[in-house]
Amino acid sequence: MSFSPLLQQLINALRCLPGVGPKSAQRMALHLLERERDNARQLAGALLQAVEQIGECQQCRTLSETPVCDICSDSERDAGLVCVLESPVDLLAIEQSGGFQGVYFVLKGHLSPIDGIGPEDLGIPQLLDRIEQGGIRELILATNPTVEGEATAHYITGQIAREDIRITRIAHGVPVGGELEFVDGGTLAHALAGRRVINRDVS
Amino acid sequence: MSFSPLLQQLINALRCLPGVGPKSAQRMALHLLERERDNARQLAGALLQAVEQIGECQQCRTLSETPVCDICSDSERDAGLVCVLESPVDLLAIEQSGGFQGVYFVLKGHLSPIDGIGPEDLGIPQLLDRIEQGGIRELILATNPTVEGEATAHYITGQIAREDIRITRIAHGVPVGGELEFVDGGTLAHALAGRRVINRDVS
């Protein structure tokens, strides 16, 4: 059975969505055509508007429809505390956790010489310029705890000449609410190595 | 944390897709904007084209971009054998099983007085007209094995005056490849009630 050409085109197009395979795409296409034609039109409009108008923040490189994003232009945020992330998704995750009052710098990826992704593609020179200009007290490297993320954090650390900046890496360990039994070995090893004294003040 | 207005608009619009909740919509929106802008544009185009140009087949009411769908206009299909379905998705499922050579009639729903869905909304008068015109040997009622689907099948049966038409209902029973242990009681009861002799010819 082949679908009609337009239906097949819609099914193929829906497969660009993450986590959508051939079966889900088919279900989505039929659902939209059967019951949600108005919403499908709205979705098309929202996609076009977002693609045309959302660019990146000049300062932190996250997705933004204004030249400087809301966070970078918020005077109540601590511009001396910069958290370096791999992706805008990570930025949202941290914002939603609600515990961070600094600003961000989004690399949009990690170093990957095999794929031809070097420091320039990640905006690292731009980050280093910002650091050179002064005003940053602490740089939190919150790249992913993967080989590539660690390598990227390591590279950035090596490039920073100023000695008045604290460079930190987010803690790796057992997730809060998780059970040790289900935590992988690498994480457990990190959690043990990164153990903290809790019965007296430590610096 | 609130998203920028355009991003929020895209996330909301994506939620019209079946099975997509707030978290998936967020992931999809960011994925499209970060890595798949060209595909997002194509998806918008495919949505608009599909919504504008895909209508329904005049004969069987399934989704079609031509006045009469490929199946209804295929002279090799047996127009005397009509399978009545609730939705175009069911039509695709049967076509993909590859075992059916007849044609279809798609109700697009089931009788549901509570929601104000009566026979006219399901095109039942149109189906009865087609039956009155003659040429149909067998009508297979393949509405879903739910209370509403059964009621719809029952209603259609009651409306057919001609006695030269065989009216059949698809078999309910244990799915092929399934294990009895995991089959629900209702299905098992149907499977037992619908048992067939296998050691001699039966009519």
Tell me the pLDDT tens digit for each residue of B72-111.
999 999 999 999 999 888 888 888 888 889 999 999 889 9
Q: Which pLDDT score is estimated for A112?
A: 92
| List of chain B residues whose C-beta atoms are within 8 Å of the C-beta of residue A73 | none
| List of chain B residues whose C-beta atoms are within 8 Å of the C-beta of residue A64 | 4
Which chain A residue is nearest to residue B88, measuring alpha carbons?
A: A30
Confidence of residue A13 (pLDDT cuts 50, 70, 90): very high
DSSP string, B115-184: GTB-GGGGTHHHHHHHHHTS---EEEE---SSHHHHHHHHHHHHH---SSSEEEE----PPTT--GGGS-
| Mean local confidence (pLDDT), A182-201 | 77
Are B10 and A44 inside 8 Å of each other by CB? no
ipTM value of the model?
0.74
- Option in B12, B31, B46 nearest A18 (CB): B31
Going from the C-alpha of B30 to that of each of A68, B3, B169, B196, the distances in angstroms are: 18, 11, 47, 55
Are A42 and B88 inside 8 Å of each other by CB? no
Probe site for chain B from A14, A26, A43, A95 (most B CB atoms < 10 A): A43
Q: Is B52 helix (H, G, I), strand (E, B) or coil?
A: helix
| Mean local confidence (pLDDT), B18-33 | 90
A26 to chain B, closest Cα gap in Å: 9
- Option in A17, A41, A108 nearest B48 (CB): A41
Task: Check residue A202 and give left, alpha or beta (phi > 0: left; psi -120 to 50: alpha).
Answer: beta
A123 to chain B, closest Cα gap in Å: 15
A202 to chain B, closest Cα gap in Å: 33
Domains, chain A, with CATH or none:
78-173 (3.40.1360.10), 174-203 (no CATH)
Lookup result for tokens 């189906």: B127
Tell me the pLDDT tens digit for each residue of A62-111.
999 899 999 999 999 999 999 999 988 888 888 888 888 999 999 988 99
A20 to chain B, closest Cα gap in Å: 10
Q: Which two tokens stand for residue A73?
A: 């232009």
Q: Is B63 helix (H, G, I), strand (E, B) or coil?
A: strand
Are A4 and B45 inside 8 Å of each other by CB? no
CB A62 within 8 Å of CB A56: yes
Q: Is the pLDDT of residue A1 over 60?
A: no
